[in-house]
Structure 1
Amino acid sequence: MLNSYFADLHIHIGRDMDNKPVKITASNKLTLTNILKEAGRRKGIEMVGVIDSQAPAVQQEMMQLLEKGKARLLTDGGIRFENVTLIMGAEIEIYDDNCQGPLHVLCYFPTLESIQKFTTWLKCRMTNIHLSSQRYYGTAKELQSKVKELDGLFIPAHVFTPFKSVYGKGVKQSLTEVFDPDLIDAIELGLSSDTEMADQIKELHLYTYVTNSDSHSLAKIGREYQQIMMKEASFKELSFALHEINGRKIIANFGMNPKLGKYYTTVCQSCFTAVPFRTTQCPTCQSKKIINGVYDRINELKNSNNKKNGRPPYYYQVPLEYLPGLGPKTFEKLLQTFGTEMNVLHHASFEQLQKVVPMKLAKTIIDMRNGKQQVEAGGGGKYGRIKK
């Protein structure tokens, strides 16, 4: 029997068990154990991908949880902690001779043993294995082959972001310039794009899309996520879902309206004036710090007017903390009443919400559930915002 599970597969580690930094820009509270507790107890997310699991100290914390009986290895891959499955992964930066610029990829592994073998292999090809998103010295295709040798999954990360992504910096026109397309398991869209935008690029019709938070803090876990139909929350079942085997599949993507992303429009980074795509100097302040927008880049690459048949729906959604008028005390009150953020976002009725929060806020939550947000577009590294 298949059931649905919520999954966020791109979460960073801020500090390891020795309180040393892993993702330097991430919150100190973003430890492995805290991630698992936050995801399961407060967010209601049943599968998390921790993409700094190649760090030896992070692996040590996993072993400690297993030794203390707080977690257990799953037969079909992954580690179960309470009601959450940990999928072990690594975000890697590639910049080989075929790349126009650096790009990030996500590599996931079924077992602690397999990611430990990956760590050993990476140590000879990376300056600092202890830190997140580090430069790998080798070709993209060699990395793909190693991931597959270890029975892993390979997913290009946030593929349209202007910095460190396949289409943002990595290639001129096609991911085949860098990757073996047959060794890609899915495509991560990123915060400034959605299914409809991505499907304007024909070569992406081959792949399942994943939507993940790229979380740098506990609060941002579940900023974007997916609902997956699987037999259980395990690595093997996730792999089946990404390839739509035996009814396993992603049944819905949940993400921010792309206009809320930091890089939707082409903007001058100095004065945040919107400028035409490929502008080299801002007409307002004469700055040359122009960041090309995802919307414009996709239009440049566009070669299809058709959406791939069978794509799951993409629902615009934001974490509760983003909503105007919803402060920390109200957030805690909602969790005390409904248990998890997923319950508030997906299951609580207007009548139930109205008993806990003001009517206007209850309506805002329901409107968001139905995709009725009014937003102002972001760009140049500045997030868009929800209109009050």
Structure 2
Amino acid sequence: VLLDCRQAGIRTATYFSNKELHPSTEAFKEHGEEWGRKDRTANLRHNFYRPDIEFGAQMCLRSGWLDYLKFSIDRVLKNHPLDGVYYDWNVALLCQNPLHEGKQAGEKAAGHWDIDELLDLMEWTRQRVGPDGLIIIHNTTVPMFATENFADYVVATVWGYSKWTDRAPDPDDLPLEWNLAGARPRGVISYGTIPENAPRRLHKLFALEAFLGGVTPWPASPETFELLPLLKPLGNIESYKFADWRNKAVSLSGKICASAVYSRPGEAYLLLVNLGQEKQEVNCVLHPEKLPCPLGKVTGAEMVATNGDALQGPEDQATASLTGSSVLQAAATLDVVALVTTGIKVTIPGDGAIVIRIK
């Protein structure tokens, strides 16, 4: 299967936990007390999936666990055609094991963090998989430039946050790791925030807020694929500079709505999102000098995609083409002069978005 994936251009990585070693293993039986992460009462910490099903006991990287983990990773990569690794528990944790501080068992530990060893592991991993290798790290609640700079992708938000119930949070209430500046491509885990029996509407809002933050729903829901054609008019998305909902290039007058910007020399796309259930007419003003790639003069503006009824009139509807989802793609010319001065009125569908091309 791994070889088939490689031939198809699919890169693969296998799972490692940086902090867990199962008590059933010989390594734990020999070194569990020595390597283990202990609390103030000198007890090991265990992670359980269910009361009778254990993930493993927590280890501290400031011990022989670091070398053993590297050995295990290297052995797997030598024997399987993998492109890299996925690291769970890619965080530094406080440990009270006195053996990691040069003391004897039973002595009182001052307490230590294994952050230096975590950075050592990340640097070693990048060297091990090579510059073109694949490193995915999971660091829910602890986004960190120092570790993410070694990674290709980041996964986050699996736990630690309030559940979404009847509405999505406002963008400025989203976790820091959702909007961490300069972050690697980031997957935000929906099942960590949306209850299993929640209305499907919340999954659409999750996807829309992911678009506003420049992150990817993990796993990609049907609602994500339904909305993805909104970005099809952009073509090669890697050719743009992205500005999330905090951008200063677009001003919107509506309630619970926001924008994101894809910008490159001579062209920009504005993603306008309505997080309310009902469609709303908003006033949209563009400040072209504040685009990531500023435009000296705007010569054209057109609405090119929507997932609702924002394209009005028989000509617009006649030229719109279905893309296999609820998204329509068409060209509806907009008033450029008004857009960059007093603003234009546009209708954004409920739980939806429109895309405007600027040149």
| TM-score (structure 1 length as normaliser) | 0.31
Instruction: Flag the structure with more relative contact order, 1 or 2, with Cα contacts below 8 A and sequence separation at least 6.
Output: 1
Structure 1 or 2, whichever has the larger Rg, is 2
Which has the larger strand fraction?
2
